[in-house]
Each structure stands twice: as structure tokens, then as C-alpha cells.
Amino acid sequence: MRTKVGIIGAGPAGLMLAHLLHLDGIDCVVLEKHDQTYVEGRIRAGVIEQWVADLLIEMGVGSRMQREGLVHHGINLSFADTLHPIDFKALTGKGVTIYGQQEVVKDLIAARLAVNGPILFEVDHVDLHDFNTTSPHVSFCHNGKREELVCDFIAGCDGFHGIARNSIPAGVLTAYERVYPFAWLGILSESPPPSKELVYAYHDRGFALYSMRTPTLSRLYLQCAPDDDILHWPDERIWEELHGRLAGRTLAEGKVVQRSITPMRSFVVEPMQCGRLYLAGDAAHIVPPTGAKGMNLAAADVRVLSRAIAAFYRSGRTDALERYSTACLKRIWKAQRFSWWMTSLLHVFPQDNPFDRRRQLAELDYLTGSSAALTSLAENYVGLPMQ
């Protein structure tokens, strides 16, 4: 099997890269270890920066998002028994769109299949070879048969636990990581959200986030211990904590249709490339979800990568490919800074003492009373400009 770009992983990064390459007339093959139903059903973050929403529309895959997505012009901060609305539109002229990551994946898969673009689901025993040469290839098993994909470039878009990053020889990458002393318990509830826009809550009992997928389907989160057991969180306890950590709004209860516990970490590897293997999305970096940057960073990576690959096929130039890591990491570290700041601002750390708690409240009070500080939050949240 021969193609120009072999893409490992059919998440947002891999599928978006495949569609961007298709629009430039560049052949690619997507390899995914899970089946299509699993990939389309993975519930992930749903906050899309404005430039990413604009890009999806420009790519021709944003029509359902435009119909069903919820455009938000701000968020709310809840602390000290008061709800503080923050108007992003007034501060920056921009907003965000609430549209589940799994819905973006469905739209991208549909677009890929509509143009007969190859996606091979349920592949296993994937191995990457010779990516330090001009003739890389990927071996894998599909439908019980050993296959080989010969390509010019390999894009590792297979997530934090994928094969791509782990295929790079020891000593090439430098990893930077912070593991946080808490996790998020998340539920999906058949109930209306307490507000038309997201509520980020700081409380002595821990952080909480009140978001939504639709006007009748809420995505709700609670700070919990990283080693907590989901069995220790029956519905009654979940709703008690959600009610207790929310200020200024009434929270409707509903049927809990999904629940999970997600650990929190910040992670970056440098560089994001080795020879003709390029890492994108969670394969190269993880951010705590407080800043809503995960899928948006993946989109930024593949936009840079697709342009660099297109430049190579147009003119043979390799300078953009050589600068891929540098171009992406500048944005990634700014997103890490913002995500760390939001996480530190709103969570209760186990080692904190009363001084730390009072300092957090003072920072929240300063933030909500300063147009300069609010503008900084807003411009980071809605998405920094692409270079």
C-alpha cells in the first residue's frame, strides 16, 4: 500500500489533518486501532475556540456545528457565594462554540468517507519503521492480515498512550510534566444546565464545572482525589456536591447516563518531530481541561503541519517542516501557562493552608474587578491568534 502521508489515529488531530491534506490534493491513509462506533462515541471536551470553528466551516465540515452548536459569548466564575459573568464578546469581540469533540469526529469521519478517503479501523500490531530516512513505512495487521503502508511522512496523532511517540529512540525527546494532586469526576446528565454559559466554581470543598452539550444535556464535573473510585460516588453524593459548590443558580437533577474520573496532568515533549515522523495533539502534549485547550491545540498542530506538507509537495521546500516543532511549541507553552493558571486559580490543593485559600479568593476578587485582567483571561480562552 502506498500513500504520501500515513496518519496514525482517527481522533480530531488525525481526521482534521486528513481532511486538510485532502483539500490540498494530498493522498493519505488513516489507521485507527478502535472501531468506528467506539471512536465516534468517545465523550471528550466540547469548547471550540472561534478560530477553530471558523476553520471547520472553511474546511466544509462545520454545517452541523453551525446548526447544533451553542455559541457562547462568555463564562461565569462562581466564588464566595456570588456568580460573576464575564463577557468575552465585549472584551475581545469573540466567543466560543460548545460542540462535543465526538460530534466533530463524526463530522470529519463522514467527510472522509464521502470522498472515499481511506480510514482503516481496528488495526493492531502497528509498528513505525525508517522514519529517519526518506522512505518511512508503517506495518500493521488489518482483518487478520499483515499489511505495510509505504509513505513520505508519518503523522503520529494517536494520543498520549499511542505508539508514535514511543517509537522515537530514547534520548531524542525531552519530556516536561506536572501531575496534579486531584482529578475530575465527570458526569453526563439528562438535565438542563444551570446557566446558558459555563460556570467555573471555586469552593472550599473543591472545584466544580457546570457545562452543557445541548440545552437539555449537561456535562458536569467535580474535583476529587486522583485515586478515587467511581463506586464511591453514587448519584446522591454527586448531586449533593454539585448543589453545594454552585452559587447563585438552581441546579436541576436528571438521569446520569455517563460518569468517569479523569486524572489531571500537564505534559509536553520537545521536539515534536523525529526525521519524517511528526507528533500532533495528545501524542505531543496534554493540558488540564480547565483551560479548554486540548482539541484546539490539536487543531493548531495539524494546521501548521498540513501547510508544511503542502509546501513540500508544491515546491520541494522543507523549511516549514523543519520548523514544525518550533512553530507549534510557542503556542503550546502559552496554552500550558493559561491552563496551569486556570487550574491553580480554581482548585483546592491538598497542601494549601488558610493563607493560600485567602490568596486565591483575593486573586479571584481582583480578576473579576479588573478589566485588564478579564481581557487577558478572555483573549486566552477564546483563542490566541494563529501566526
Q: With b meaning 16 or more CB within 10 Å and e meaning fewer, what string describes 262-289?
A: eebebbbbbbbbbebbbbbbbbbbbbbb
Please tell me which residue in 72, 84, 203, 347 is annotated as part of the active site: 72
Please tell me which residue in 99, 180, 200, 324 is annotated as part of the active site: 200
Please tell me which residue in 19, 106, 285, 293 is annotated as part of the active site: 293
Is 289 annotated as catalytic?
Answer: yes
Is 226 annotated as catalytic?
Answer: no
Is 99 annotated as catalytic?
Answer: no
For 284-295, the DSSP string reads TEE--GGG--HH
Pinpoint the alpha helices (H) of 245-282: none
Please tell me which residue in 180, 210, 278, 381 is annotated as part of the active site: 381
For 352-368, the DSSP string reads --HHHHHHHHHHHHHHH
Please tell me which residue in 84, 180, 289, 347 is annotated as part of the active site: 289
| Residue 144 identity | G
Residues 156, 293: Cα–Cα separation, whole Å: 19
Q: Which residue has the cell 525508517?
A: 130
Q: For residue 358, count other CB atoms closer than 10 A to its CB.
A: 10
Are 297 and 10 contacting, i.e. CB atoms less than 8 angstroms apart?
Answer: no
CA 49 to chain centroid, in Å, comes to 11
**Among candidates 79, 145, 59, 94, which has minimal Cα distance to 382?**
94
Residue 375: which residues within 8 A CB-CB, separation 6 or more? Answer: 91, 92
Residues 103, 41: Cα–Cα separation, whole Å: 9
Is 200 annotated as catalytic?
Answer: yes
Is 72 annotated as catalytic?
Answer: yes
User: Which residues are tagged catalytic?
Assistant: 72, 200, 289, 293, 381
